Amino acid sequence: MCPQPFSGLSTYPNGTYTMCCPALPPRTEMEKQAIAEWVGNRSLPNINSTKPSDWFKDPLLKKIREEFKKDSSPILDVTCAVCKSQERNGIKSYRQFNLEAVDEVELSDLIENAEDPDYIHLMELNALGGNLCNLACNMCRGESSSKFRTEEIQLGEIESTRALVKPFISEETRNDIISILPKVREIKFTGGEPLMNDELFWVFDNTPKVNQKLRIASNFTKNVDKFLDATQDFEHVHIDMSIDGTYDEYEYIRYPGKWDVVEANVISAKGKTNYLLNTIFTLHALNVSSSIRVFEKAKEWDTEKSLNVVSNNFYSIRSVPPEIRQIHISRLTKKANEYPILNDIIALLNDWIYDETEMWNMLKHVKRRDILRKKNLLTVYPEWEMYYNSLEEY
């Protein structure tokens, strides 16, 4: 069982409600058809027309809850593939993290009263900030980053001419959110980039803060002082710093971020008693061995560390060819005793099946951005030389 559809409240940056942010869209045509038929070929509700309190009563969310009550579900095999893969490999999943927020008695009550829960264990309304972001991380997507969307437009990859996506939120919906906030145990913002989102401060002004936890996932390349000042009254503030490499690796993947800014912000945030800093490494096809240097840096900073996994596009480790996987496994194995979390990455490399088509699509995507940014993949990840240099069309 997962508590998310029963006491979680999540939207994507474009305002669409979702069961949870890691929930995967269908990948194959067969999966797309099955999901479309299952939802009745209807559009998913959006916060610009459906208040959060009404989403809890929505027929689609009711249908999702019924799937969770079954012993097995082909629908959840698709949408919950990330958690299933992590748990299969002994990695703590998003579902398991959420289960820690409720006990068995509470979960039982939630299942019975899901349309009007006594509390919300997690509120993640990324629609409040939309896709506003200052970085165009390779493995991201335009729906989550205005900078990434700008590059898509420049490269002619999409027809849209508008980079910023931010849904309209009515005064009625804002009042609905305010009425819900006292029931929320944890408020979470991922983005876009939360440190660019002034709507955060509207939420902070309307939040009780006592017995509440605040969590943000940030690239940590924007000044943190205003955020630190505004959140000092929260009982607990958890900052997930998205660090996918160090120095030149970071600046290549999280273009056009600057590593020295990240380190300066870490120094500013450390030492505050109600703040917990977590270095979160997002694993994708390009940066597998970067995990070693990231976890070494987390040790130097004395922060927590955890693993996130790209799974919803061709930057997933499905795109890593077998011989490059062996290079990474050899490197990771040498450091796994010192950093046991590396064993989780090794397990995923062994579990996820190689997809050559996705690999070539990824490298074409990389090459187009390298040309636009005047960068070169091989300066930071030379193990890709044979494949990168053999690209003829991109």
pLDDT at 385: 97
Query: What pLDDT is recorded for position 293?
Result: 97
pLDDT at 43 over 80: no
In tens, the pLDDT along 53-88 reads 999 888 888 888 888 888 778 878 877 877 887 788
**Range from 16-25, 146-155, 206-215 carrying the lowest mean pLDDT:** 16-25
Give the pLDDT of residue 32.
66
The residue ranking higher by pLDDT, 191 or 189, is 189
Strand ranges for 94-177 from DSSP E: 122-125
DSSP E strand boundaries for 259-378? 275-283, 304-309
Is the model's pLDDT at 281 over the cut of 60? yes
pLDDT surpasses 90 at 361 = yes
Closest-CA residue to 188 (of 146, 149, 142, 234):
234
What is the dihedral sign for C-alpha 14, 18, 21, 27? negative
- pTM for this structure? 0.86
What size, in residues, is the chain? 394
Residue 278 has pLDDT above 70, yes or no: yes
- The residues, any chain, with a CB within 8 Å of residue 191's CB and separated by 6 or more, are 13, 126, 129, 131, 132, 133, 144, 145, 197, 217, 218
Whether 279 shows a pLDDT value over 80: the answer reads yes
**How many Cβ atoms are within 10 Å of 261's Cβ, its own excluded?**
15
pLDDT for 145 equals: 95
Whole-number Å distance between alpha carbons of 373 and 252: 10
| Residue 282, pLDDT score | 94
CB 328 within 8 A of CB 288: yes
pLDDT at residue number 360: 97
The stretches of 104-170 forming alpha helices (DSSP H) are 104-112, 146-154
Contact 247/287 with Cβ under 8 angstroms? Answer: no
Rounded Cα distance, 376 and 10, in Å: 37
More confident residue, 292 or 87: 292
Q: What is the pLDDT of residues 211-266, one digit of tens each?
A: 789 999 999 999 899 999 999 888 899 999 999 999 999 999 999 999 999 999 99
Tell me the pLDDT band of 123, cut-offs 50, 70 and 90: very high
**For 30-34, 260-264, 319-323, which range has the lowest pLDDT when averaged over its residues?**
30-34
Cβ within 8 Å of residue 277, ≥6 positions away: 239, 241, 266, 269, 270, 301, 303, 304
64 with 19: CB under 8 angstroms? yes
pLDDT of residue 273: 75
Residue 194 pLDDT > 90? yes
Which comes out higher in pLDDT, residue 20 or 278? 278
Distance of alpha carbon 102 from alpha carbon 106, whole angstroms: 6
CATH class of segment(s) 4-388:
alpha beta
pLDDT tens for 46-55 read: 999 999 999 9
Per-residue confidence (pLDDT) for residue 211, from 0 to 100: 78
Average pLDDT over residues 343-361: 94
- Which comes out higher in pLDDT, residue 145 or 6? 145
Report which of residues 18 and 42 the model is more confident about.
18
Report the pLDDT value the prediction gives residue 156, as an integer from 0 to 100.
95
Arithmetic mean of pLDDT over the chain: 89
- Tell me how far apart the alpha carbons of residues 253 and 223 are, in angstroms, rounded to a whole number: 20
According to DSSP, the residues that pair with 279 across neighbouring strands are 241, 305
- Statement: residue 322 has pLDDT above 60: yes
Residue pair 295/281 in contact (Cβ under 8 Å)? The answer is: yes
Instruction: Give the pLDDT mean for 161-171.
Output: 90
Query: Percentage of residues in the chain with pLDDT exceeding 90?
Result: 56
> What pLDDT, on a 0 to 100 scale, did the predictor assign at position 21?
74
Of 353, 240, 249, 347, nearest to 291 by C-alpha is 249
